């Protein structure tokens, strides 16, 4: 019976992830929530040269915010920056070239950024889904390095800056795929058994949810949230999940629809009236587990994740140039 209930709940949830799900949910949105002027506030968006990251950055720029685009590919990033400036008329758009899968680069970037800039809102959007096990130059499994460790280091490295900021927020772009994964701290780099890139990605996204919950407990002056954008038509989906894209392309959300809740969490006053540490979909907090699911973890596993990531983090900080 529990299997049947979970299946019904999950299928219903999948429909909500499509464009139709967004259109239905958006009938309840209050447009005034995001019709705000954020001039004078500083937003850092990782993975901002395409997809949901670029759509989010563009909407923040329209509202007058200072936007820092953190991107891996210099050429694509420069094109994205020019597009944002041209379309919004906002000249306060800054570009930083950082590979989020490279922890030493993140530390180096964060150290310099803290000396030169402020940040009110960090949006952890950069991510990847590599379908075959691939190691970075540091010997890290690439999905873990980007989605989990990169997110952890970027956030913790900028935490001192965020702690000093007014109305500080951290938003992490996760995925509904995490609902099928229980936190696994025994194999963070997916070296045991067959490698399934989709499930590794989902595990990373579960880890991001746990990170958000743990940060919310530890840093009361910052509002943390994690969200699922639904299924959006982005370059990442086309390249990483071509079969899924072909099946679903007529039902996928636009990039702007996928970015809507990120924007709402980043700029609206309503978002911070809700508790820190929640998981959102279409501007509403939603459960992080299916009903009666096996995906709940004991507190000691969640604490262990934080300990292991801190160990990784400090290892790469110690060899960081400068």
Per-residue pLDDT 10s for the chain (322 aa) are: 344 444 444 445 567 888 777 788 889 999 999 999 999 999 999 999 999 999 999 999 999 999 999 999 999 999 999 999 999 999 999 999 999 999 999 999 999 999 999 999 999 999 998 989 999 999 999 999 999 999 999 999 999 999 999 999 999 999 888 988 999 999 999 999 999 998 999 999 999 999 999 999 999 999 999 999 876 556 666 565 666 646 666 678 888 899 999 999 999 999 999 999 999 999 999 999 988 789 999 999 999 999 999 999 999 986 444 4
Number of domains observed in the structure of the chain? 1
In a domain, 322, yes or no: no
In a domain, 320, yes or no: no
Cβ burial 198-208 (10 Å sphere, 16+ → b, else e): eebbbbbbbbb
Cβ burial 5-24 (10 Å sphere, 16+ → b, else e): ebeebeeebeebbbbebbee
In a domain, 204, yes or no: yes
Q: What number of CA atoms fall less than 13 Å from residue 38's CA on the CB side?
A: 32
pTM of the model: 0.92
Report the C-alpha gap between 80 and 58 in whole angstroms: 9
- Check: CB of residue 175 under 8 Å from CB of residue 201: yes
Phi-psi region of 181 (alpha: psi -120 to 50; beta: other; left: phi over 0): beta
* Catalytic status, residue 201: yes
pLDDT for position 237: 60
pLDDT for position 250: 67
pLDDT for position 320: 43
In a domain, 60, yes or no: yes
Report the C-alpha gap between 58 and 52 in whole angstroms: 10
pLDDT for position 17: 81
Q: Which domain range does residue 14 map to?
A: 3-315
Q: Report in angstroms the alpha-carbon separations of 235 from 43, 49, 69, 232, 242.
A: 23, 11, 17, 9, 10
Set 17, 22, 152, 201: catalytic member: 201
Q: What is the CATH number of the domain that holds 58?
A: 3.40.50.720
- Check: CB of residue 151 under 8 Å from CB of residue 128: no
In a domain, 321, yes or no: no
Report the C-alpha gap between 266 and 272 in whole angstroms: 9
Q: What number of CA atoms fall less than 13 Å from residue 247's CA on the CB side?
A: 6
Would you call 83 helix, strand, or coil by DSSP? helix
In a domain, 133, yes or no: yes
The backbone torsions φ and ψ at residue 34, rounded to the nearest 5 degrees and listed phi first, read: -110, 5
The backbone torsions φ and ψ at residue 130, rounded to the nearest 5 degrees and listed phi first, read: -95, 125
Report the C-alpha gap between 321 and 265 in whole angstroms: 34
Pick from 28, 18, 85: nearest CA to 270: 28
Report the C-alpha gap between 301 and 181 in whole angstroms: 14
- Check: CB of residue 126 under 8 Å from CB of residue 53: yes
In a domain, 10, yes or no: yes
In a domain, 92, yes or no: yes
- Check: CB of residue 42 under 8 Å from CB of residue 96: no
pLDDT for position 234: 60
Q: Compute the CA torsion angle 121, 150, 213, 266 (nearest 10 deg).
A: 20
């Amino acid at each position: 019976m529990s299997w049947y209930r979970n299946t019904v709940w999950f299928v219903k949830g999948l429909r909500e992830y499509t464009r139709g799900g967004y259109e239905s949910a958006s009938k309840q949105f209050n447009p005034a929530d995001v019709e705000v002027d954020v001039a004078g506030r500083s937003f850092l968006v990782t993975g901002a040269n395409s997809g949901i990251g670029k759509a989010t950055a563009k909407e923040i720029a329209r509202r007058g915010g200072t936007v820092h685009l953190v991107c891996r590919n210099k050429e694509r990033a420069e094109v994205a920056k020019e597009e944002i400036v041209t379309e919004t008329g906002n000249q306060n758009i800054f570009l930083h070239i950082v590979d989020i899968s490279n922890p030493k680069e993140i530390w180096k970037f964060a150290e310099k950024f803290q000396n030169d800039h402020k940040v009110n809102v960090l949006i952890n959007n950069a991510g990847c889904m590599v379908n075959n096990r691939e190691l970075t130059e540091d010997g890290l499994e690439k999905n873990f390095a980007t989605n989990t460790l990169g997110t952890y280091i970027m956030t913790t490295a900028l935490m001192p800056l965020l702690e000093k900021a007014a109305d500080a927020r951290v938003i992490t772009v996760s995925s509904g795929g995490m609902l099928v994964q229980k936190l696994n701290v025994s194999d963070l780099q997916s070296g045991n058994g067959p490698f399934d890139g989709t499930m590794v990605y989902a595990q990373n996204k579960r880890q991001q949810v746990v990170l958000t919950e743990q940060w919310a407990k530890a840093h009361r002056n910052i509002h943390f949230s994690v969200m699922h954008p639904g299924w959006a038509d982005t370059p990442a989906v086309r390249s990483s999940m071509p079969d899924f894209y072909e099946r679903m392309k007529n039902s996928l959300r636009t990039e702007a629809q996928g970015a809507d809740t990120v924007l709402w969490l980043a700029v609206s006053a309503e978002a911070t009236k809700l508790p820190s540490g929640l998981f959102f979909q279409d501007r509403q907090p939603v459960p992080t587990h299916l009903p009666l699911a096996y995906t709940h973890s004991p507190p000691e596993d969640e604490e262990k994740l934080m300990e292991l990531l801190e160990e990784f983090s400090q290892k790469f900080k110690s060899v960081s140039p400068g």
